Structure 1
Amino acid sequence: MKLAVVGGGSTYTPELIDGFARLRDTLPIEELVLVDPAADRLELVGGLARRIFAKQGHPGRIVTTSDVDAGVADADAVLLQLRVGGQAARNQDETWPLECGCVGQETTGAGGLAKALRTVPVVLDIAERVRRTNPDAWIIDFTNPVGIVTRALLQAGHKAVGLCNVAIGFQRKFAKLLDVTPGEVHLDHVGLNHLTWETGVRLGGPGGDDVLPKLLAEHGDAVAEDLRMPREIVDRLGVVPSYYLRYYYQHDAVVEELRTKPSRAAEVAEMERQLLEMYGDPALDEKPALLGKRGGAFYSEAAVDLAASLLGNGGSPHQVVNTVNNGTLPFLPDDAVIEVQAAVDATGATPLAAPALDPLYTGLIANVTAYEDLALKAALHGGRDRVFTALLAHPLVGQYAYAERLTDSLLAHNREHLAWA
């Protein structure tokens, strides 16, 4: 079995490597190729990756290359974890929207649109290279904004599934609070990428008893603290929103908070500097503790599970993924990409029947889906008017004057990454 990781020079890759090493019986990789244009980072990350495999007794071979075509050739699955423009571009995404009083964030709002515009063309180019060299390979997208990127891949006819770590993070945290194993916890997880709610927490599988009311009654403070939301919000909803809902439910308060501290990108950039220095130590043969602060907890386990299922090597029968709607949420177009529980096997991901949703959620989901459709059009075809229209449609922007100003700022900060600008 051969896997390729495009964006393999990321400082986060050792987390993925650790998961591949620990879970080698679930996903028996014979060759792992790390692909990245940044040769200096790739050398450091690749060296640590080989030492992690060696320490844990993994027999697989790790190859590094900056050649995408060579890296993905004959791969059974290709994982995408890109950041076009690096942390510098992310820092801009998180700062210039604040000038208009709008949330600055890398996956939603104006910053999220900027990331989509930079990212979609690059991902589609890579996917076409995969299709030319190995049309049977699965593409697993962890690149944000996952919903828009996965929709771009699926609309172009690629074998793709999107992956996010929000659901597996909730599963692990709830299991700990309930004193059960993670495998016993099944989430009624529904919505769009970074716009989801846990409407049920079931023990034993999709038909198990819903213990969400018990969880909130006994551990509501811990859940709310993890979300960085007041408990009263969680109690009023009666469900568990993802962390990203705070950008909607507490927009103005979050903007003020973001204005008073360094951007997350600045924090991560400093972490990356320290991590790369650590990775250069030939004595280091495990992921350092600092990597746990980098983000993306449990991604490696989710990625192994998904790849194993798609490649017919076992894996959990039900997983939370980003895949095409096809009537699952009847208020959305069939070609929308949703984030829900799905049955996953070698044929792909088929959403399970979703729970009925209150208009409080369906309205916001439909609104953001419309924005994502417009954002994808802007990413595929370019044009200032398309960027403006997408921003005007986004519920975190929505005002004409803001959309005009944000469009100008977005283009000014991203011209080097936009061929049409």
Structure 2
Amino acid sequence: MKLAVVGGGSTYTPELIDGFARLRDTLPIEELVLVDPAADRLELVGGLARRIFAKQDHAGRITTTTDIDAGVADADAVLLQLRVGGQAARERDETWPLECGCVGQETTGAGGLAKALRTVPVVLDIAERVRRANPEAWIIDFTNPVGIVTRALLQAGHKAVGLCNVAIGFQRKFARLLDVNPSEVHLDHVGLNHLTWELGVRLGGPDGENVLPRLLAEHGEAIAGDLRMDRRIVDRLGVVPSYYLRYFYAHDEVVRELGTKPSRAAEVAAMEKELLAMYGDPALDEKPELLAKRGGAFYSEAAVDLAASLLGDGGSPVQVVNTYNRGTLPFLPDDAVIEVQARVGRDGAAPLAVPALDPLYAGLIANVTAYEDLALDAALRGGRDRVFKALLAHPLIGQFDYAEGLTDRLIAHNREHLAWA
């Protein structure tokens, strides 16, 4: 089995490598190729990756290349974890929206649209290269904004599934609180990427006892604290929202907060510099503790599980993924991409049935899906008017003057990445 990781020079990658090494019985990789245009980072990350495999007695071969075509040749699956424009572009995404009084964040709002516009054309080019190399290869997308990028891939006819670590993070957290094995925890996880709610937490499987009320009663303060939300929000809803819902439920508070501290991008850039220095130490043969602060917790376990199910019989039969709606949420088009529990196998992902949603959640999902329709159109066809319409449709923006000002700023800050600008 051969896997390729495009964006393999990311500081995330040792987390992925550690998972591949530990879970080699689930996903028996023979060859792993790390692909990245940044040769200097690739050398550091690749060296540490080989040492991690060696320490854990993994027999697989790890190679590195800056050549996408060479890297994806004959790959059975390709994982995408790239960031077009790097941390510098992220820094801009998190700052210029604040000038208009809107949240600055890399995956939602105006910053999220900017990332989509930069990313979709690049990902589609990579996917075409994968298809030419091996039409049967699966593409696993971890590149944000996952919902929009996955939809672009699926609409172009690629064998693709989107992946996020939010659900597995909740699963592991709830398992700790319940003192059970994570495999015993099934989430009623519903929504869009970075716009999800845990409507139930079931023990033993989809039909198991719903222990969410007990979790909220006994651990509500800790759960709300992890979300950085007021306990009253969680208690009033009676469900656990993704922490990304904070940008919606406490937008003005978040904007004020972001205006008083360094951006997350600046923090991550400093962290990456330190991590890369660590990766260059030939004595280091495991992922450093600092990597846990970088983000992406449990990404490796989720990626292994998904790849194992798509390529064979080693993964869990039911997983949370991003895939076509296909009638699962009846108020959305079939070709909308949703994030729900799905049955995963060699033929891809088939969403499990979801009970009728409260309009409180369905309304916001429908609104953001409409934005994503317009965002993808802007990413594929370009043009100032399409960018403006997407911004105006986003529930975190929604005002004419805001959308006008943000459109000009988005284009000005991303001109080098927009072929039509």
Q: TM-score normalised to the size of structure 2?
A: 1.00
Alpha-carbon offset, residue 356 of structure 1: 1.8
The C-alpha deviation readout for 1:312-349, integer Å capped at 9, x for no partner, is 13210100000000000000000000000000000000
The C-alpha deviation readout for 1:80-113, integer Å capped at 9, x for no partner, is 0010000000000000000111000000000000
Q: Which residue of 2 aligns with 1:272?
A: 272
Q: Which residue of 2 aligns with 1:48?
A: 48
1:238-249 correspondence runs (5 A): 238-249=238-249
Separation of aligned partners in 2, 1:356 and 1:18: 39
Q: Which residue of 1 aligns with 2:399?
A: 399
Alpha-carbon offset, residue 355 of structure 1: 2.2
Separation of aligned partners in 1, 2:127 and 2:354: 30
Separation of aligned partners in 2, 1:166 and 1:272: 22
Given residue 379 of structure 1, which amino acid in structure 2 is its aligned partner? Answer: A
Q: Which residue of 1 aligns with 2:223?
A: 223
1:261-340 correspondence runs (5 A): 261-340=261-340
Q: Which residue of 2 aligns with 1:9?
A: 9
Separation of aligned partners in 2, 1:75 and 1:153: 17
Separation of aligned partners in 1, 2:356 and 2:177: 26
Separation of aligned partners in 2, 1:57 and 1:366: 48
SS of structure 2 residue aligned to 1:276:
helix
Equivalent residues of 1:27, 1:313 under 8 A apart = no
SS of structure 2 residue aligned to 1:320:
strand
Separation of aligned partners in 1, 2:229 and 2:405: 30
Given residue 15 of structure 2, which amino acid in structure 1 is its aligned partner? Answer: E
Q: Which residue of 2 aligns with 1:359?
A: 359
Separation of aligned partners in 2, 1:88 and 1:314: 39
Separation of aligned partners in 2, 1:344 and 1:264: 34
User: Is the counterpart of residue 256 in structure 1 residue 239 in structure 2?
Assistant: no
SS of structure 1 residue aligned to 2:349:
strand
Q: Which residue of 2 aligns with 1:142?
A: 142
Equivalent residues of 1:130, 1:137 under 8 A apart = yes
Given residue 183 of structure 1, which amino acid in structure 2 is its aligned partner? Answer: S
Given residue 150 of structure 1, which amino acid in structure 2 is its aligned partner? Answer: T
Q: Which residue of 1 aligns with 2:208?
A: 208
SS of structure 1 residue aligned to 2:180:
coil
The C-alpha deviation readout for 1:278-313, integer Å capped at 9, x for no partner, is 101000000011101000000000000000000013
Q: Which residue of 2 aligns with 1:95?
A: 95
Q: Which residue of 1 aligns with 2:118?
A: 118
Separation of aligned partners in 2, 1:415 and 1:188: 41
Equivalent residues of 1:188, 1:355 under 8 A apart = no
User: Is the counterpart of residue 346 in structure 1 residue 346 in structure 2?
Assistant: yes
Separation of aligned partners in 2, 1:396 and 1:374: 15
Separation of aligned partners in 2, 1:304 and 1:252: 38
Gaps of 5+ in 1: none
Given residue 153 of structure 1, which amino acid in structure 2 is its aligned partner? Answer: L
Separation of aligned partners in 1, 2:58 and 2:101: 50
Q: Which residue of 2 aligns with 1:188?
A: 188
Separation of aligned partners in 1, 2:100 and 2:355: 37
Given residue 376 of structure 2, which amino acid in structure 1 is its aligned partner? Answer: L
Alpha-carbon offset, residue 395 of structure 1: 0.2
Q: Which residue of 1 aligns with 2:408?
A: 408
Separation of aligned partners in 1, 2:182 and 2:299: 14
Separation of aligned partners in 1, 2:204 and 2:229: 29
SS of structure 2 residue aligned to 1:189:
strand
Separation of aligned partners in 1, 2:101 and 2:296: 28
User: Is the counterpart of residue 37 in structure 1 residue 37 in structure 2?
Assistant: yes
Given residue 121 of structure 1, which amino acid in structure 2 is its aligned partner? Answer: P
Separation of aligned partners in 2, 1:383 and 1:199: 39
- Deviation above 6 Å: which 4+ runs of structure 1? none
Q: Which residue of 1 aligns with 2:389?
A: 389
SS of structure 2 residue aligned to 1:201:
strand
Aligned residues: 421
Alpha-carbon offset, residue 275 of structure 1: 0.5
User: Is the counterpart of residue 197 in structure 1 residue 200 in structure 2?
Assistant: no
Separation of aligned partners in 2, 1:94 and 1:249: 18
SS of structure 1 residue aligned to 2:295:
coil
Given residue 166 of structure 2, which amino acid in structure 1 is its aligned partner? Answer: V
Given residue 22 of structure 2, which amino acid in structure 1 is its aligned partner? Answer: R
Q: Which residue of 1 aligns with 2:19?
A: 19
Give % identity.
87
The C-alpha deviation readout for 1:132-172, integer Å capped at 9, x for no partner, is 11000000000000000000000000000000000000000
The C-alpha deviation readout for 1:9-58, integer Å capped at 9, x for no partner, is 00110000000000000000000000000000000000000000000000
Separation of aligned partners in 2, 1:152 and 1:219: 39
Q: Which residue of 1 aligns with 2:417?
A: 417
SS of structure 2 residue aligned to 1:123:
helix
Q: TM-score normalised to the size of structure 1?
A: 1.00
Separation of aligned partners in 2, 1:112 and 1:222: 28
Given residue 230 of structure 1, which amino acid in structure 2 is its aligned partner? Answer: D
In angstroms, what is the RMSD of aligned CA positions? 0.4
User: Is the counterpart of residue 158 in structure 1 residue 141 in structure 2?
Assistant: no
Q: Which residue of 1 aligns with 2:129?
A: 129
